[in-house]
Amino acid sequence: MLLASEYLKFQKEEHMSLKSKYSAVVAKYVKKRLYLNTYMNLTDNTHIELENCQKILEYNDIFVKIKTSTIVVSIWGENIKLSDYNTDGIIINCKFTSIEFEEREVISCSTTSEEL
Protein backbone atom coordinates (compact mmCIF):
# COMPACT_ATOMS: atom_id res chain seq x y z
CA MET A 1 0.00 0.00 0.00
CA LEU A 2 1.36 3.39 -1.00
CA LEU A 3 1.51 6.18 1.48
CA ALA A 4 0.24 9.60 0.41
CA SER A 5 3.77 11.05 0.23
CA GLU A 6 5.01 8.12 -1.90
CA TYR A 7 2.02 8.48 -4.21
CA LEU A 8 2.66 12.22 -4.64
CA LYS A 9 6.33 11.52 -5.36
CA PHE A 10 5.33 8.91 -7.96
CA GLN A 11 2.88 11.34 -9.61
CA LYS A 12 5.53 14.07 -9.68
CA GLU A 13 8.11 11.74 -11.30
CA GLU A 14 5.54 10.62 -13.88
CA HIS A 15 4.71 14.25 -14.67
CA MET A 16 8.40 15.21 -15.04
CA SER A 17 8.96 12.19 -17.29
CA LEU A 18 6.15 13.28 -19.62
CA LYS A 19 7.33 16.88 -19.47
CA SER A 20 10.90 15.96 -20.47
CA LYS A 21 9.63 13.79 -23.34
CA TYR A 22 7.42 16.65 -24.53
CA SER A 23 10.37 19.08 -24.31
CA ALA A 24 12.52 16.78 -26.44
CA VAL A 25 9.81 16.49 -29.12
CA VAL A 26 9.28 20.26 -29.18
CA ALA A 27 13.04 20.93 -29.38
CA LYS A 28 13.38 18.55 -32.34
CA TYR A 29 10.45 20.21 -34.14
CA VAL A 30 11.80 23.73 -33.52
CA LYS A 31 15.28 22.78 -34.77
CA LYS A 32 13.81 21.37 -37.96
CA ARG A 33 11.56 24.37 -38.61
CA LEU A 34 14.19 27.01 -37.82
CA TYR A 35 16.89 25.21 -39.83
CA LEU A 36 19.17 24.78 -36.82
CA ASN A 37 20.42 21.36 -37.85
CA THR A 38 23.95 20.90 -39.15
CA TYR A 39 24.24 20.75 -42.93
CA MET A 40 27.33 19.44 -44.73
CA ASN A 41 28.41 19.44 -48.32
CA LEU A 42 31.37 17.14 -49.01
CA THR A 43 33.24 17.14 -52.32
CA ASP A 44 35.53 14.13 -52.76
CA ASN A 45 38.01 14.08 -49.90
CA THR A 46 39.26 17.63 -50.44
CA HIS A 47 36.46 20.11 -49.66
CA ILE A 48 33.72 20.35 -47.03
CA GLU A 49 31.21 23.09 -46.23
CA LEU A 50 29.64 23.05 -42.74
CA GLU A 51 26.59 25.18 -41.92
CA ASN A 52 25.37 26.26 -38.48
CA CYS A 53 28.82 26.22 -36.88
CA GLN A 54 29.04 27.64 -33.38
CA LYS A 55 32.71 27.45 -32.44
CA ILE A 56 36.12 26.19 -33.57
CA LEU A 57 37.25 24.10 -30.61
CA GLU A 58 40.68 23.11 -31.93
CA TYR A 59 42.63 23.85 -35.11
CA ASN A 60 46.06 23.08 -36.55
CA ASP A 61 47.41 21.91 -39.92
CA ILE A 62 46.40 18.23 -39.40
CA PHE A 63 43.29 18.44 -37.17
CA VAL A 64 40.22 20.63 -36.72
CA LYS A 65 37.37 20.19 -34.24
CA ILE A 66 34.20 22.23 -34.77
CA LYS A 67 31.12 22.52 -32.57
CA THR A 68 27.87 22.90 -34.51
CA SER A 69 24.30 23.28 -33.33
CA THR A 70 23.74 19.51 -33.10
CA ILE A 71 27.10 17.70 -33.28
CA VAL A 72 30.85 18.06 -32.86
CA VAL A 73 32.81 17.36 -36.07
CA SER A 74 36.45 16.26 -35.89
CA ILE A 75 38.41 16.27 -39.15
CA TRP A 76 41.88 14.79 -39.66
CA GLY A 77 43.78 15.61 -42.82
CA GLU A 78 46.86 17.06 -44.46
CA ASN A 79 47.46 20.82 -44.68
CA ILE A 80 44.03 21.87 -43.36
CA LYS A 81 42.92 25.35 -44.41
CA LEU A 82 39.79 27.09 -43.09
CA SER A 83 38.12 29.81 -45.10
CA ASP A 84 34.95 31.86 -45.25
CA TYR A 85 34.17 31.53 -41.55
CA ASN A 86 30.97 33.51 -40.99
CA THR A 87 27.72 33.22 -39.07
CA ASP A 88 26.37 30.64 -41.51
CA GLY A 89 29.25 28.22 -41.68
CA ILE A 90 32.79 27.39 -42.60
CA ILE A 91 34.68 25.96 -45.59
CA ILE A 92 37.48 23.45 -44.99
CA ASN A 93 39.98 22.49 -47.69
CA CYS A 94 42.56 19.71 -47.33
CA LYS A 95 43.10 16.06 -48.12
CA PHE A 96 40.83 14.39 -45.53
CA THR A 97 41.99 11.19 -43.89
CA SER A 98 39.18 10.90 -41.32
CA ILE A 99 35.93 12.64 -40.36
CA GLU A 100 34.31 11.88 -37.00
CA PHE A 101 30.90 12.89 -35.65
CA GLU A 102 30.06 13.16 -31.96
CA GLU A 103 26.47 13.78 -30.95
CA ARG A 104 25.99 16.65 -28.51
CA GLU A 105 23.87 16.30 -25.38
CA VAL A 106 20.36 17.73 -25.53
CA ILE A 107 19.80 20.28 -22.79
CA SER A 108 16.33 20.17 -21.31
CA CYS A 109 14.54 23.46 -20.76
CA SER A 110 12.21 22.09 -18.12
CA THR A 111 12.11 23.39 -14.56
CA THR A 112 11.19 21.48 -11.45
CA SER A 113 9.02 22.69 -8.62
CA GLU A 114 12.12 22.89 -6.40
CA GLU A 115 13.64 25.50 -8.75
CA LEU A 116 10.54 27.74 -8.53
DSSP letter at 76 equals E
Backbone dihedral angles phi then psi of residue 94, each to the nearest 5 degrees: 180, 180
Q: Does domain 39-103 have CATH number 2.60.40.2000?
A: yes
DSSP letter at 47 equals E
* pLDDT score, position 40: 84
Condensed to tens digits (0 to 9), the pLDDT of residues 33-92 reads 565 677 888 888 899 988 888 888 999 999 999 988 788 999 999 999 988 777 678 899
Residue 2's identity, in one-letter code, is L
Its pTM stands at 0.60
Contacts of residue 9, Cβ cutoff 8 Å, sequence gap at least 6: none
